Amino acid sequence: MTWSVTARGAHQPDNTAFTQQRLPAWQPLLSAGITLPLFFCAGLAFIGLGLGLFYSSNGIKELEYDYTGDGGTGNCSLCAAEGQGRAPPPSCSCAWYFSLPELFPGPVYLYYELSNFYQNNRRYGVSRDDAQLSGLVSALRHPANECAPYQLSATGLPIAPCGAIANSLFNDSFTLWHQRQPGGPYIEVPLDRTAIAWWTDYHVKFRNPPLVNGSLALAFRGTAPPPNWHRPVYELSPDPNNTGFINQDFVVWMRTAALPTFRKLYARIRQGNYSAGLPRGSYRVNITYNYPVRAFGGHKLIILSNISWMGGKNPFLGIAYLVVGSLCILMGFVMLVVYIRYQDQDDDDNDDE
Amino acid sequence: NDKVDFSYNRLADPKFSFYDNALVEAVKSEDRLVYLFFLCLSLCHTVMSEEKVEGELVYQAQSPDEGALVTASRNFGFVFSSRTSETITVIEMGKIRVYQLLALLDFSNERKRMSVVVRTPEDRVMLFCKGADTIIYELLHPSCASLSEVTMDHLDDFASEGLRTLMVAYRELDNTFFQTWIKKHSEACLTLEDRERKLNLVYEEAERDLILLGATAIEDKLQSGVPETICTLTKAKIKVWVLTGDKQETAVNIAYSCRIFKDEMDGLFVVEGTDRETVLQELRAARNKMKPESLLESDPINICLARKTKLPFRVLDETPNGSYGLVINGYSLAYALEGNMELELLRTACMCKGVVCCRMTPLQKAQVVDLVKRYKKVVTLAIGDGANDIGMIKGMNLWGFIAAAHIGVGISGHEGMQAMLNSDFSFCQFRYLQRLLLVHGRWSYNRMCKFLSYFFYKNFAFTLVHFWYAFFNGFSAQDVNETWSLCYPELYEPGQHNLYFNKKEFLKCLMHGIYSSFVLFFVSMGTVFNSERSDGKDISDFQSFSLIVQSTLIWVVTMQVWPLVVGIALRTNFWTLISHAFIWGSLGFYFCMLLFLCSDGLYLMFPSIFHFLGVARNILNQPQMWLCLVLSTILCLIPGIGYNFLRLFLWPVNVDKVLNRIHVCLKHPLPPPVKTKIKHPGLRRSAYAFSHKHGFGALITSGKTLKPNAFKTSKRVL
């Protein structure tokens, strides 16, 4: 005896796979048949990759020299001592001598490295005006408030480029000299200072304000250089394509570092006789020592390095890959043992029930 | 089966549908027992008929069951057409026959049966009786023993299906017996002392040696599947309370038929006191029986209650020594809900397996829900179909705040749409509740937990990366530094509340999040530290580094979806095409967005906002970035997968085992379980059709309430 009405309800949803949650589905299963091979394969792949990375990283040559001049080491200690407690520190020159017993294969890159320099400090990191650096005239005249206290000069002129980052521009300079034979003359190694910044930075992000009467200096008229600078921004280089906001050193510096110890590219060595690398012989790096780092316990280093397909020297990735690969395999074995031991027990349990 | 065609019967109720043709054939062939059976149904009742429009009979029944039985017999061609105080007119297959009503042996709770004694037009005196099967069974003539055995078997079947059953029997009285009996009957009717008992004795004299005609079974007015649903919900450890405006007897009977109360319960407490003290005593007595120690001073809950009176606090669960039921009516409830009594009520009621509150006002419904909600650490769900359930479904303003169940469910039914319109969820049958809770509720809970775990994990991973970075940027990006944090501890307060999403699970997420963030940050840092790009430029600038960390993070966290999800709901998870599309799509979308946000155009328009110009192009082509990404992803995935794999073997929990079994069952489907027939002891089979205190018998025989026109006919007959 049934009393029910069997008509389809007016609000009954459609009987489709989607509305009734019956879509064909894949169930990720953590079964031993999938998990164990996964672990072993991943482990092997990682170890292989790790070995490759480790060897390529080891194949990279790196030469570095700390020219801070702490504790009277090296001939830069004189400069360091001279600059102690003086602001701005006087210009001073020193040199780093080294010799290469064999060819330093190219292309060789020259870096400077600063340590204990917190370019990633929040207030330092925001102390810039990207609108000004992109060449907007309005921003040139009215720098962003983030730039304060390097927004306006003491006389009330807008600072260009404004902000703490620009104000602290690294201003040591290096030249590299090569002595082929002992006692022979030092020949200057040409340093390619172009294309050291990102293409996008140099071409898009950083732009000079429009020239006034064909002159960059006029375009910057009515602005003041940052207080630590000795010369205005339009005189950073005599090359019109490398001066003002698009000066490559400046652009490199403005790409602030993420970590308190950082390297920045200074120059590439790839011209003339040195395109294949630095031949053996004695070398001298003349350093113009301007930048004070001892006040904050920092260090300045100069680094010569070449690179491989995976970038510069960095043993971390290789080792990490090897460790993780071994870990995978180890864990695979543990899981295999557990699986073999407990599987029977599991079956027994099921039988009991 | 096809519906039976009742067109042969002009007076049939068109709303009645019936599906067994055999019975109709039996009626048509004028089988004697079938004839008597339907005759009994159309004579032995207290239904009044009404003919508002010519030819359209409407029955006014005291209980719906009686109405149903009389309607059924009407459709089969035994139409009860009218009654006077001394006659009953029945149209038997089109022929009008007038039966003389000689006596009406009315229903009472002790007798659990009613009978009529009629004189047929053939001048035979017949007694027709219907009543609770257990009672009638005792009164049957030995000659119908075999038939009664079969009938009892059928009745057991009916009862186990939740049908309300009756047995129908008759006896032909010989004239001499009847004459003496009717004399005794009138004497008993006229006695002043102890009339009831004497009447009963007289009734018993007539109601014996009955010949069994058959049994009726009436389906509950309940919607289908209600007992099963309640049974399932009870298994899921959900407690069911019935809050109804019905009469106590009806409510209790419904509770029995919904299996809220069961015959095998150890006891049923009825609270029907009409003053404070009685109610309190009744509640205490109930608790004394269920758990005597709960009344002692030394009971932990009593100590707890005595000590602190500040709200909110929770009353812990107590376990009684058996399964009990509680019935309380609205009048007593008014006292029980008073300030200091409510905890007594709550503790007593919560120890019972089933609770029925009857004769309740809408306000009381809301109050009871609120009471449970306030003192127990539970989630309440109110379900109802009537306008008077809105209070508990949607909320009612009690003492300035809204009291309502956490979840309100409305059933759209005969009582209008109000409940449905005011509810959180609504459907049209009570039995969908089990689907709502056990299927969708469970899914929703699982998904919510997964989502929460994932959400927390993701946020930990995301936030803590910044935390690690703080060690390397001189802690220069804190919103509030440590001194301020210590000066204003209120800053910490929001974190202290609402952390009730399973602490262990939360901790796991936290650990996982910390680990992931650690991996994310330090692997990325190791990758860029004092390293160069493959074009010789330095890689460790802030923007590149953040992009590497962020991309790795997004990748890891997205990949984490599946071990995490697998970890939580092992093997119950399905990846549909849509999931794939969204998960992989979101990764792809991330890279698209990245390229867009680092594009020249945006920078030229808003140089100070989109100053990440070119970073995507300069970093995504670096092998280090991808090496870092793969390394971090694997490092973050291994522990989760390993843990979940090992957990299955080393620390399997119950749910895992159940899920495992389900999985095995899916592969090797079991045959559907064989339905075991549950034999119910007869007690419950007494039909609630008769559960009112007294029938209308006395009224009918007195003739006082009959309509004037009925009077006229009766006079004519006289």
pLDDT digits (tens, 9 = 90+) for A189-206: 888 888 888 888 888 889
Residues in A touching B565 (Cβ below 8 Å)? 28
Residue B442 to residue B452: CA distance in whole angstroms: 15
**Residue of A4, A30, A329 to mutate, interface with B, max B Cβ within 10 Å:** A30
How, if at all, do strands B425-427 and B407-411 pair?
Answer: parallel
pLDDT of B396: 59
Confidence tier at B712 by pLDDT (50, 70, 90): very low
Mean pLDDT, rounded, for B703-715: 44
The rounded distance, in Å, linking the Cα atoms of B127 and B40 is: 9
Query: What percent of chain B is predicted at pLDDT more than 90?
Result: 1
- Cβ atoms of residues B509 and B617 within 8 Å: no
Tens of pLDDT, residues A97-110: 888 888 888 789 99
Give the pLDDT confidence of A27-74 residue by residue, as tens digits.
666 677 778 888 899 999 999 999 999 999 898 888 888 888 777 666
Closest listed residue to residue B636, CA positions, set B524, B516, B548: B516
H/E stretch holding B383: strand B381-384
Q: Report the alpha-carbon distance of residue A325 to residue B648 in Å, rounded.
A: 24
* Cβ contact, residue pair B614, A264, below 8 Å: no
- Listed in order, strand segments (DSSP E) in B159-233 are 164-173, 211-218
Cβ count within 10 A of residue A96: 19
Determine the pLDDT at residue B698.
Answer: 65
pLDDT beyond 50 at B497: no
Say whether A311 and B627 touch across the interface (CB within 8 A): no
**Chain B: closest CA distance from residue A135 (Å):** 10
pLDDT in tens, B86-128: 888 888 887 888 998 888 888 776 777 888 899 988 888 889 9
Long-range contacts of B172-176 (CB under 8 A, 24+ apart): B172/B124, B172/B125, B172/B126, B172/B127, B173/B117, B173/B125, B173/B126, B173/B127, B173/B206, B174/B125, B175/B125
Phi and psi dihedrals of B93, rounded to 5? 45, 45
Q: Is B68 on the interface with A (CB under 8 A)?
A: no
B235-285 residue pLDDT tens: 777 788 888 877 676 677 778 877 788 877 888 888 888 888 888 888 888
Structure-token match 């169930």, residue found: A27
Query: Residue A314 and residue B529: Cβ atoms within 8 Å?
Result: yes
Distance, CA of A259 to chain centre: 9
Higher pLDDT, residue B666 or B713: B666
The confidence band for B568, taking pLDDT boundaries of 50, 70 and 90, is very low
Both tokens of B384, joined, read 């109802």
Torsion angle of C-alpha atoms B565, B567, B569, B571, degrees rounded to 10: 100
CB-based contact, B522 to chain A, within 8 Å? no
Query: Can you give the pLDDT at residue B489?
Result: 36
* pLDDT tens digits for range A72-81: 666 788 888 7
B107 is in an annotated binding site: yes
**Lowest-confidence region among A121-130, B90-99, B565-574:** B565-574
The DSSP-derived string for A203-228 is: III--PPPPBTTBHHHHTTT-B--TT
> Does B571 appear as a known binding residue?
no
| pLDDT computed for residue A1 by the predictor | 36
Chain B residue at shortest CA distance from A328: B638
ipTM: 0.88
Q: Which residues contact B306 (CB under 8 A, 6 or more apart)?
A: none
* Cβ proximity of B47 and B62 under 8 Å: yes
Q: Which residues of chain B lie closer than 8 angstroms to A46, CB-CB?
A: 634
* Cβ pair B538:A346 closer than 8 A: no
Dihedral over alpha carbons A245, A249, A255, A258 (to 10 degrees): -160
Q: Report which residue type is found at A201.
A: D
**Which residue type sits at B419?**
A
The pLDDT of residue B689: 46
Alpha-carbon span B597 to B206, nearest angstrom: 98
- B164 known member of a binding site: yes
Please say if the pLDDT value at position B678 is more than 50: no
Residues of B in contact with A313 (CB under 8 A): 531
Q: Would the pLDDT of B599 be above 60?
A: yes
Most confident of A37-46, B661-670, B682-691: A37-46
Q: Does A264 sit within 8 Å of B575, measured CB to CB?
A: no
- Report the DSSP pairing between strands B87-92 and B95-105: antiparallel
Average pLDDT of the segment spanning B619-628:
89
CB contact under 8 A, B541 and A257: yes
Tokens of B682: 């007869």
**Degrees to nearest 5, angle at CA B413 with B410 and B417:** 60
Strand partners, B56: B53
Q: Which residue spans within B405-526 are E strands per DSSP?
A: 407-411, 425-427
B97 is in an annotated binding site: no
Q: How close does chain B come to A19, measured CA to CA in Å? A: 13
Q: Rounded CA gap, B353 and B323, in Å?
A: 6
Give the C-alpha separation, A263 to B539, whole Å: 9
If you average pLDDT over residues A159-176, what whole number do you get?
90
Which range of A173-187, B416-430, B684-698 scores highest in mean pLDDT? It is A173-187
Give the three-state DSSP class for B134.
Answer: helix
Nearest residue in A to B566, CA atom: A28
pLDDT of residue A4: 40
Query: In the structure, what pLDDT confidence band is assigned to residue B398 with cuts at 50, 70 and 90?
Result: low
**A205 to chain B: which residues are within 8 Å by CB?**
603, 611, 613-614
Radius of gyration of chain B (CA): 37
What percent of chain A lies above the pLDDT cut of 70? 89
Contact predicate A253/A170, CB 8 Å? yes
Residue B149's pLDDT band, with cuts at 50, 70 and 90, is confident
Q: Which amino acid is at B403?
A: A
Q: What pLDDT, on the 0 to 100 scale, is given for residue B671?
A: 52
Q: What angle do CA B167, B173, B179 make, to 5 degrees?
A: 135
CA torsion, points B502, B508, B513, B514, in degrees to nearest 10? Answer: 120
pLDDT tens, position by position, B271-329: 888 888 888 888 888 888 888 877 777 776 777 766 665 555 667 777 778 888 888 88
Average pLDDT over residues A213-221: 87
Average of per-residue pLDDT values in chain B: 76
